[in-house]
Structure 1
Amino acid sequence: MPPVKRLLSESEAAVGSEPISKTDSFILKGSKVRACAECKRHKIRCDMKTGATSCTRCARKGYKCVVNNQLHQFIADDKDWKSTWASQIEQVQAAVSDLLQRNRMPDLSSYSSRDRSGPIEQAVIVSSNEDVNTVPAMAMTRENSAEPTLEESELVAAPMRSLYEVTKLRNLRSNLNTVSSGASPSSAMEQDFISRGCITIAEAEMLFSVYYRTINQFLWGGVAMMHADLESVRRSSSLLTAAIMAVAALHIPNSTDLLNTCYKEFASLVSQTTLSRYHTLDDIRALTIGAFWLSDLSWKLSGQAVSIATEMGLHQCVRKMLKGDKSQHEGAQLWYLLYVLDHQFGTAYGRPPIVREDAAIRNYRTYLKCPESGQRDIRLMAQVALFAILSKTYELFGSDTDQEISEESFVQLREFNVEIDRWRLHWQPQHLVSPYVGTYPSKGVVLHYHFAKFQVNSLALRSTTPNAKLSTDRKEAADMAISSAIATLNMVLEEPDIRNSIVGVNLYTHAMVAFSAVFLLKIAWNWRTTSLNVDSSQIYDLLDKIVVLMSGSLASDKHMTFHIAKGLRRMLNHLRICEDDGTNSDESRQKMRVGEEEDLSSLALGFFDESWNDFSNVVDMFDFFQPQWPNL
């Protein structure tokens, strides 16, 4: 009888070991032990007949016949245990892979078995915003759920959904929590930058209070922030927490260090979430808040917020809500907010808007009839209605600054003016006094009315030179653009609730104020000898007052108002120097051009450097409605 081979040790029997050797295969195949205990003790032949329960000797002697088959039983039990354990390991691996993906950590295959602290240390690194150099491999992980039947699947669906049904690959799946307002998968209150000690709890509470009681109210009654306390925000979204902290710090005097800390945290979290598949409504709100106030990020954040929202299906929320699903109200409200954001910065940056005027946008009046809608929704829908008008202007006249509009186009231009007049008459009475910002809601309607009239009528001078002979219609529209720009600045100076809010309003308002100022400066310099209604001394005096107002703002020195004041003061000084040297001469023009080139050469691209958001070249941002003026 060949010697019995040794049993596998636990380490050798582990799952994932090498293929079974010949020695081990003998044990797995091993024949049953035939001798009973009595025969084996006397070392005699044990004769066990087929079907008998006792051997011949034990039956004759009356002994209890016990066959010792422990080896065979051990092998059978070992095989069952391995099978069960392998199945459980597969389940654990699938669960860990899903958690790593949700938390934007490297794929499971990137963790070496020798790296005992790998996953924990990686999580700490990610949460502390240090650079992670490991790039995970492309994940091609299948879902563990049961395969859908053809009867259960939609007949006509998005192509990617069909591809997902076929392959079951996780990386093809959209965010299934479409309108979830719960905590973000990336939010961890215990690991955010407040818990890490980057800023103190007292500083965080102060920043939240500043944002909630003042800044938040300028954004149409706080439509972009639904939390009443700091703890609620922190538990919901680390990204939203950082956005609120950064925007609040921007509005506090002598807070450069605090602003830098909060800004860097927000920018870091935005970078980390760029390729993330899982987001919540609060994550989108964070991007929206950042876009409205952080000038160097607004161009990117506005587009990213819209992109994530469409991935989450927010564009479908209005339709579902109007069909009676009240749970969709929050997502529908946010979609309207993104429409306004997208169109404001489409205007500001001279780019076509992403969100189009579909049925959801056209049904904003029906949305207001829902019992869930309130005063903040009225303020928001007023903006939606206004940009629906301006979008028609864009579609008709385009954004080509070299294309002069035809004389026949002034009929449509007058129609747009009438629509804007009706817009003001309809919406201004519906805006009530706010306990936080006074009459700003209704006065803000008038301010945006002047913005719109200025933008539309300035088209009359697009690609037109000062020495060109203007028709009656063109001159009428140009004079209306000039009067609207002047009315904009006068309102900022003379209306107390507008004047007091100039620090807290968002970037679009600052941009339009600066655009109006620069427009008037160019009119005063290049067109004062024409038939247009231009009073240079009135314009200079008006802009001097704007400079004084914005220079006295109570905010961080990084706030946009200081840079608007700095840029306008520089332009006014150039104009006055040139007037002293000679009235509108070629030499004066050249001197101004050189001065402006020197100003622009000082612009840098670094975070929060001396001129990170310099507004001296503000007019270049507005190609949408910008006339192609001769160089100053």
Structure 2
Amino acid sequence: MTKRRWSVATYDGNLSGNAVGSVAPTHSITSASDLREINVAVQQSPASSSHSSTPPVRRILDDPDLVAATTRKSSACPACRKQKIKCIMENAMPPCKRCAQRGLLCSPSKSLQGLMKDQTRWNSRMKRHFNRLQVALNEARAALSLPPVLVMDEIDTADEEAKVRETDILSDDALDTVEGTLAPDSLASAPMHSLYEVTTLRSINETNRANDTANAQSDMQSRGLVVDPDFITRGVITIAEAEQLAKLYLGRLDHFFYGHLQHYLDFASIRKTSTLLALTVCTVASFHDPLGSELYDKLSRELRNLASSLMFRPRLGINEIKALCMSCYWLADMSWMMSALVARKAVSMQYHTKHLDQPDTDREDFCCSQMWLLIYLSNEQISMLQGVPQSGVSPNYVNWERHMASPFATEADLRLVSHIAMLLIISRVRELFGLDTRKKFPSIHVPHLREFHAQLDRWGASWSGRLEIARNKHIGHFPSEAVKLHWHFSKFYICSHAFRGLPTTSDVVTGTLPPELQDVAECAITTAFSVLDLVLESEEIKAALVGMPHYFHTMFAFAAVFLLKVATRYTQYVQVDIERVFSTIRQVLQVFGQCPCARQHLVHRIASGLHEMLHRCELQQAAEVMAVTKRAAGDANTDRQTLTEAESALNGVDLGVLDDLQPLELENFDFLSALPASWLTEFDN
């Protein structure tokens, strides 16, 4: 029979001798072999089955106090333990005396108790180190007006990793689809439903909708994407500069944008909500700051990069939608792309259905309806100014009467829907007359043109009275003045169709303007003067030149260029007072030159380009007057080209600059395309 080891014998004796008492062995368990022997002995012991169904060894190992009490501390090195001799170490540190004398490797193996103590000390040290890092990080974030990083409780890492893997799989297999449906699945449903039925892609939208349901509707106003590190943390601008720009925006500019950010108190509150919104606020404010030219170059580059990163993001918060609408509203050099992006995102999140559900919705859905009207406003204005088809929102999904029936509608909504009502008329004009400016305007459409003209008159009379409200302390009477400006510009835009497809005086003359279009063309000239006269006569418009959306500035540029080209190239069709044209534009240039804003602002760009164009037109007019005078004097051998060359040389101007006045294409007018390259800010990718 094999002799039992002393540890097993001692342990077995304690178990059999005391059934209820505490375990108090004279020696501790030292190795895995000891545990196996103890387990065998306990299983063979008849007394072990009468106390508990749990093996005693298991109960001992589950109790850290018992483990500490039954663990023998071994400090001998392997060489001395093999020889069963005393291992003497000075200061309890290897090597021992015997190993040092013999040149042996002395590395005592740690006991279970020693390992547990080392682990406890390491955990305690790491916890203190983590706490110090946590405090330092939160102090740094507080200095940058960022929220603190919270310490999370223990989480099930296995479940979290499974969720991450599931999200990655879904995102890899996802289609570029619209979330939600207008009607339940049926034979008449959208074709995409069939794809969902034969593939596993349906679970993608169901997962998105389940996640959306988990987020409370009341949290929509504050939901947004916060990027860390953001443009402040990375040092694009300082926190002091950002706070100053946000103060400028919230104090004045936001009132032009219908006051959608008035519930924010300062830059810190905006920054906590959405990085894109905070960046857009700073970019727009620097654009209107006379000292913000350098800041605008940096911020606009950041804005382009951040907006590009949102291109394939499945969802955007309400604040990201606001930020994109703000970019379309003020920043002409990126409004075309931004308007297309925000329209797609809003459609994918069913903003159009929330608009049509008015007025029976809550405040959050009403805010989505406001954004939907702003998106339509931006898309319609930009497509009209560019002379291209609509790229976003169909007028069939716009109903401002429903929107105004909501109990949440305010004065700002009244201003917004006044512009929407006017653009709905313009959209019907563009749909009927088309966009091809090369074809002459057919006489058959003259009655329709007059009917649209009458509709605009009724619109102007109606909304001028409805917006005669108390003066706004931030933007004065700009809302009512804006209605007048829209009225004149819309009539001017419609009447300008009379000049479609007409050759200029430099071309071969093939005819004159049809009689039925004569009064329409004259009305176009009259209303173009009215647009520019409002800039000169209305103090409210002058004060709002820095702050109003770029749509208004394009109105002024369009009217001015129209008058210059009619006065120099289309005099065979209509009579125009050339001196009045030149005088009016000089006065407009003086007003624009006094506007305090960044050098990239449209008023400065328009002023520079318009000044150069005016100078060319004056030279051309002077040369034509000189040619007429010499012909009247009998110098028949001098043609117009020779006289113009002489006059241009006399004034030190190259003849080639006069050829820049191309034939008038009113529908495709884009003032930015006529600017020298040096005026347009270039941005890195």
Would you call these one fold, judging by a TM-score over 0.5? yes
In 1, distance between residues paired with 2:321 and 2:352? Answer: 13
What are the within-5 Å matches in structure 2 for residues 483-632 of structure 1?
A: 483-528=526-571, 530=572, 532-583=574-625, 585-586=640-641, 588=644, 591-594=656-659, 603-604=676-677, 610-612=678-680
Which of residues 213, 226, 238 is equivalent to 1:187?
A: 226
Pair 1:414-2:450 in alignment: yes
In 2, distance between residues paired with 1:443 and 1:546? Answer: 17
Q: Which has the higher helix share?
A: 2
Q: Is the 8 A contact 1:309 1:315 kept in 2?
A: yes
Pair 1:405-2:460 in alignment: no
What are the within-5 Å matches in structure 2 for residues 284-299 of structure 1?
A: 284-299=321-336
Deviation string 1:514-558 (CA, Å, 9 cap, x unpaired) is 011101000000123x35230000000011111111122101111
Which of residues 485, 507, 528 is equivalent to 1:447?
A: 485
Paired residue secondary structure (1:400): coil
Paired residue secondary structure (1:351): coil
Q: Give the 3 Å change call, closer, same or farther, for CA 446–224 of structure 1 in structure 2.
A: farther
Shift of 1:407: 1.1
Structure 2 alignment gaps of length 5 or more: 1-35, 63-154, 176-182, 628-639, 646-654, 663-671
Residue number in structure 1 paired with 2:402: 366
Provide the TM-score with structure 1 as the length reference.
Answer: 0.71
What are the within-5 Å matches in structure 2 for residues 62-461 of structure 1?
A: 91-97=159-165, 139-140=172-173, 154-155=185-186, 157-160=189-192, 163-164=195-196, 167=200, 176=209, 177=212, 181-184=220-223, 186-188=225-227, 191-219=229-257, 221-223=258-260, 227-325=264-362, 327-358=364-395, 360-361=397-398, 363-431=399-467, 432=469, 433-461=471-499
Amino acid paired to 1:612 = L
Paired residue secondary structure (2:357): helix
Which has the greater radius of gyration? 2
Q: Is the 8 A contact 1:424 1:446 kept in 2?
A: yes
In 2, distance between residues paired with 1:337 and 1:64? Answer: 80
Residue number in structure 1 paired with 2:16: none
Shift of 1:249: 0.3
Q: Is the 8 A contact 2:250 2:261 kept in 1?
A: no
Q: Is the 8 A contact 1:160 1:172 kept in 2?
A: no
Amino acid paired to 2:416 = L
Q: Give the 3 Å change call, closer, same or farther, for CA 97–559 of structure 1 in structure 2.
A: farther
In 2, distance between residues paired with 1:417 and 1:205? Answer: 47
Q: Give the 3 Å change call, closer, same or farther, for CA 602–317 of structure 1 in structure 2.
A: closer
Amino acid paired to 2:246 = F
In 2, distance between residues paired with 1:377 and 1:138? Answer: 38
Paired residue secondary structure (1:387): helix
Q: Give the 3 Å change call, closer, same or farther, for CA 505–602 of structure 1 in structure 2.
A: closer
Q: Is the 8 A contact 1:36 1:66 kept in 2?
A: no
Residue number in structure 2 paired with 1:472: 515
Of all paired residues, the percent bearing the same amino acid is: 27
In 2, distance between residues paired with 1:292 and 1:211? Answer: 14
Shift of 1:263: 1.6
In 2, distance between residues paired with 1:509 and 1:63? Answer: 94
Provide the TM-score with structure 2 as the length reference.
Answer: 0.66
Q: Give the 3 Å change call, closer, same or farther, for CA 65–257 of structure 1 in structure 2.
A: same
Which of residues 41, 51, 73 is equivalent to 1:37?
A: 41
Aligned residues: 499
Q: Give the 3 Å change call, closer, same or farther, for CA 601–382 of structure 1 in structure 2.
A: closer
Shift of 1:350: 1.4
Shift of 1:72: 14
Q: Give the 3 Å change call, closer, same or farther, for CA 586–240 of structure 1 in structure 2.
A: farther
In 2, distance between residues paired with 1:400 and 1:69? Answer: 90
Structure 1 alignment gaps of length 5 or more: 1-31, 41-53, 78-86, 102-106, 109-136, 143-151, 605-609, 615-632
CA RMSD of aligned residues (A): 3.8
Paired residue secondary structure (2:358): helix
Q: Is the 8 A contact 2:297 2:681 kept in 1?
A: no
Q: Is the 8 A contact 1:386 1:420 kept in 2?
A: yes
Amino acid paired to 2:457 = D
In 2, distance between residues paired with 1:578 and 1:523? Answer: 13
Shift of 1:270: 0.7
Deviation string 1:126-145 (CA, Å, 9 cap, x unpaired) is xxxxxxxxxxx971389xxx
